[in-house]
């Protein structure tokens, strides 16, 4: 099997696991939705502030929710040393990482799509700019969270206190991604008369390219040591 076919097989396997664990997905959605609600309470007296900073609140809620999703990336494999068994198969470690990162990207994209109507109602915001740009920022944004998040999930999967360690490692690394996606999403929502959204989209694409190129190599070194 080629690396591509192995990657797709791992992604399909994780997608099936995610589908069977729909109750946990609903719990993550409830948590992220509650975070959005808390932000609305914090600025309830100022509707303009809520609308202006809706993109920032949305991505912060998604970032916090993503930690719960990413923490599950290797939960099944670490039970009963299943990851060791997987590594004994003729599967390229890069394919394992890329398959899991693709599955996490899909899961986070679904989470983002379910959060969007909640944010639209709570913050009274609509898309006055480009739907296409907004979709691009969502896909590239969750991909920028999924790649390093999957790597750190693998590194902390067998460490005591991994629930605390994962966000401590992940959040500093994804600051550029969060900054770019918040700025770009805000322009896509409010309108972009100066044409700045494409620049933020380029920045986001560069960081995604770096993460998705480097993280598989680091993962291979981690699991083969």
Determine if residue 2 is left, alpha or beta; phi over 0 gives left, psi from -120 to 50 gives alpha, anything else beta: beta
- Give the rounded percent of residues in the chain with a pLDDT score beyond 70: 90
The two structure tokens encoding residue 95: 């394919």
pTM score, whole prediction: 0.89
Determine the structural domain holding residue 126 and report its residue range.
3-223
Residue range 95-130, pLDDT digits in tens:
888 999 999 999 999 999 999 999 988 888 888 878
Domain count, the chain: 1
């Amino acid at each position: 099997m080629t690396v591509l076919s192995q990657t797709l097989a791992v992604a399909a396997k994780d997608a099936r696991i995610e589908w069977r664990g729909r109750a946990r997905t609903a719990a993550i959605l409830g948590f992220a939705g509650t975070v959005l609600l808390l932000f609305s309470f914090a600025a309830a007296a100022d509707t303009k502030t809520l609308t202006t900073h809706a993109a920032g609140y949305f991505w912060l809620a998604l970032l916090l929710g993503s930690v719960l999703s990413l923490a599950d990336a290797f939960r099944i494999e670490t039970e009963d040393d299943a990851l060791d068994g997987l590594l004994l198969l003729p599967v390229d470690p890069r394919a394992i990482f890329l398959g899991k990162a693709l599955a996490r990207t899909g899961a986070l994209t679904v989470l983002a799509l379910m959060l969007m109507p909640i944010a639209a109602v709570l913050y009274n915001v609509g898309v006055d700019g480009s739907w296409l740009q907004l979709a691009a920022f969502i896909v590239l944004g969750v991909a920028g969270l999924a790649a390093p998040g999957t790597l750190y999930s693998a590194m902390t999967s067998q460490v005591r206190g991994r629930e605390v360690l994962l966000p401590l490692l992940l959040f500093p690394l994804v600051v550029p991604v969060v900054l770019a996606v918040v700025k770009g999403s805000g322009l896509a929502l409010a309108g972009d008369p100066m044409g700045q959204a494409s620049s933020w989209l380029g920045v986001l694409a560069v960081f995604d390219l770096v993460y998705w190129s480097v993280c598989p190599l680091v993962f291979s070194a981690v699991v083969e040591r």
